[in-house]
Structure 1
Amino acid sequence: MDKHLDHIKLTAAELSYLWTSYLADSMSVCVLRYFLVHIVDKEIKALITYALELSQKHVEFIREIFTKEKIQIPQGFTEQDVNFLAKRLFSDIFYLRYIRNMSKGGLVTYGRVLQNVYRQDIRSFYAECLTDTLELDSMAAMILLEKGLAMRPPVIPYPQKLEFVHKQSFILEGLGRREALTGTEVTNLYANVLTNRLGVAMTTAFSQVAKSKQVRKYLLRGKDVSLKHIKVLSSYLEMDSLGVPIAFEQEVTDSTESPFSDKLMMFHFNLMIYAGVGNYGIAISESQRTDLVVDYSRFNIEVLKLSEDGANLMIQNEWLEQPPLAANRRDLAKH
């Protein structure tokens, strides 16, 4: 680290992003190392290996920064949270779809992080994270295409002439309903069905192997929520005779031997919940149909409630690490 950075303290944004990244990447190291135990396909194995190298590099960088700044390093996730001897829980195809989904989430996250980071070493780190994740996403997309597994969004007609909207009812049309979806609405519907499909597959697998009855019950509840959202979102696409992403729970084996701790699975599922909230928020901002906005808003309320209950379950089991907090000036004034 450059000497001139010694006197520049990390901002709240920089500290919080690094802390969260450490938890997520230490989890990814455990998950990806387990994936590599069972992979057969050479191309997918190379992809997972690259993803693992990135997560390990991120963990090492953050540990170095925290050590230098005398910041408590989070516990995160370690080898105690993974059983490398557990039977295969997912297929190679699932691993490929998993990496594509996680890389898409990484692109969104790192792009947002860079908007709020100023210290040069931290900016360089997250800029490199963004570049590396773009490469990972491109690799995953190419393998999906080559294997005929890519779930591409539907095709809509090309515009053939200039047209202007003549009715105010086109935008947030009150109780009426514009029949045709815009291209952006189609894209968000398709993407949100796809991410919920992954959520269903993950909760199917995790609920099979979770040791705690409470955790199993919570994961199955999350699965029900995702299935309900898939049904509603798919109906919009089907009404316009547009394709819907297929399910891939079949990529989960019948193993009941857990490769991961309940703590890791709860953290992982809640990361997916937070990503889902963000995805629905974007969909709301880009939708021009009232019925879509109402459904996405209702979904977000349901997902936030699920997230709150998940956090309470993690607190109950002492699995939730406290993030960096601002100073409580009222408490300080009491001394």
Structure 2
Amino acid sequence: MSGSTTAKLTASEIASLWTSYLNDSMAKCVLGQFLQHIEDEAIRSVVQFSYDLSVNHLERLKVIFHEGDLPQPIGFTEEDVNLGASRLFTEIFCLTYVCHMSKVGMLAYSGFVSMSAREDLREYYIAGLIESAKLYNESTEVALSKGVFVRSPFVEVAKHIEFIEDKGYMSGYSLLKKQRTLNAVETSHLWINIQTNLMGMKLALAFAQTSTSKNIQNYMLKGKDISKKHMKIFSSTLLDSNIQPPMPADISITNSTTQTFSDKLMMFHMTLLSAAGTGNYSTAAVASQRSDLVINYERLSVEVAQFAASGANIMIKEKWLEQPPGMYDKEKMAQLKYDPE
């Protein structure tokens, strides 16, 4: 039976399980720290729900690794979080973080479903997708009730269907005439990427001020500057079309400099955000019909990729980067059989 729960795991299924474990073990540490300081009952309920999901996922994943005779990733443990550290994030930040990461979760789980053949794994990831959607719904409801949910811009649209009649519609540059205004699809992607960069900027700043390593601090501050730069570019593009960029709620961080998370966890978190950002830029580039937007997304993606690569180099140097499960090198095995040296 193709969907059997005892079928041998495929490469894509192993990759999905391995990635899921790392992400959930990181989330457990971050959310557990949030819960030490949240007093607002509505926000606490959302964060607790997210935390419980991560804990339950980890228990299920451990069973799958054991039954599949696979080495369980180290991931992140209580050694990677200081639960006794003073408050680093405001409660509104915690709420916004959960809302943001629930969207990342929906994208991740939909991908994991599509890469899984085994019935039990498909059911597990579909359940995870539903849980992520529920988490997004609940965190959005709380944010709306507190007046801190940032809506995308309102725009006036034509009352009738129109077709593109001129190649100039696709051009973002013209010396003879003003470039056309943004359409709704392009506006939505600019808005999304402003929001994600704002979250990245705040996290990078928080990580910089609490790390005990000068090297890590410099890396995080560089990430903060990149996010800030990208936000300015996207906001300027909206303003050029007389569209007000989103005005975010106060998702501030405190003045705490106490080490809250391990450098290993913070570096991994930034690589996760970088990967999500690159995916967002790729999607936006494909959806945008103005050439200047496409060019912007492509060049900014390169900058994010270079930032992620330098982060990976730091993690490799510090021996923080777990290697994904790999296959045996059959050619090397054959050579060693007759030439052990």
Same fold flag (TM > 0.5): yes
Matched, 1:203 2:170: no
Question: What is the DSSP-based 3-state SS (H/G/I as helix, E as strand, rest coil) of the residue aligned with 1:242?
Answer: coil
Give the superposed CA RMSD.
Answer: 1.7
> Structure 1 residues 120, 6: CA separation in 2 closer, same or farther (over 3 Å shift)?
closer
Task: Provide TM-score, normalisation by structure 1.
Answer: 0.96
- 1:69 corresponds to: 68
* CA distance in structure 2 between the aligned counterparts of 1:53 and 1:250, rounded to whole angstroms: 23
CA displacement, residues 155-182 of structure 1 (integer Å, 9 cap, x when unaligned): 1113212322210121246657632111
Q: Is 1:79 matched up with 2:74?
A: no
For residues 44-81 of structure 1, the C-alpha deviation after alignment (integer angstroms, 9 at most, x for no partner) is 00001000111111111110000111111010000011
Q: How does 1:254-273 map to 2 (within 5 A)?
A: 254-273=255-274
- Give the AA of the match of 2:261: F
Q: Which residue pairs with 2:133 in the alignment?
A: 134
Count residues with an aligned counterpart.
Answer: 333
What's 2:164 paired with? Answer: 165
Whole-Å Cα distance in 1 between the matches of residues 82 and 129 of structure 2?
30
The 5-angstrom pairing of residues 70-109 of structure 1 reads 70-109=69-108
Letter paired with 2:315: M
Q: Is residue 28–residue 55 contact of structure 2 (8 Å, CA) maintained in 1?
A: yes
Q: Deviations over 1:90-139 (max 9, x none)?
A: 00000010001000111111112211211000000000000000000000
Structure 1 range deviating more: 176-185 or 304-313: 176-185
Match of 1:39 in 2: 38
2:300 is matched with: 299
Question: CA distance change for structure 1 residues 231 and 297 in 2, over 3 Å: closer, same or farther?
Answer: same
Give the Cα–Cα distance (whole angstroms) in 1 for the partners of residues 114 and 254 of structure 2. Answer: 41
Q: Is the 8 A contact 2:96 2:251 kept in 1?
A: no
2:306 partner letter: K
Tell me, in whole angstroms, the C-alpha distance in 2 between the residues paired with 1:83 and 1:132.
Answer: 27
- The Cα shift of 1:7 comes to 4.4
Match of 1:25 in 2: 24
8 Å CA contact retained: 1:200, 1:227:
yes
Q: Does 1:320 align with 2:321?
A: yes
Cα gap change, 1:249 to 1:143, in 2 (>3 Å) = closer
Q: Is the 8 A contact 1:35 1:95 kept in 2?
A: yes
1:225-281: CA deviation from partner (whole Å, max 9, x where unpaired): 111111111101111121223356761000000111111111111110110000001
- Residue pair 2:36, 2:83 contacting (<8 A) in 1 also: yes
Report if aligned partners of 1:204, 1:249 keep a CA contact under 8 Å in 2.
no
What corresponds to 1:125 in structure 2?
Answer: 124
CA distance in 2, matches of 1:139, 1:128: 16
CA contact (8 A) 1:201 1:249 kept: no
Whole-Å separation in 1 of the counterparts to 2:83 and 2:45: 19
Identity across the alignment (%): 39
Moved more, 164-173 or 264-273: 164-173
* Secondary structure in 2 matching 1:165: coil
Amino acid at match of 1:294: I
The letter for the 2-side match of 1:194 is Q
Deviates more, 1:323-332 or 1:32-41: 323-332
Cα 1:131/1:165, change in 2 over 3 Å? same
- In 1, are the aligned partners of 2:169 and 2:180 still within 8 Å (CA)? no
* Unpaired stretches in structure 1, ≥5 consecutive residues: none
2:243 is paired with a residue of what secondary structure? coil
State the partner residue of 2:227: 226
Task: Tell me, yes or no, if the aligned pair for 2:150 and 2:248 is still in contact at 8 Å.
Answer: no
Residue 327 of structure 1 and its aligned partner are, at CA, apart by 3.4
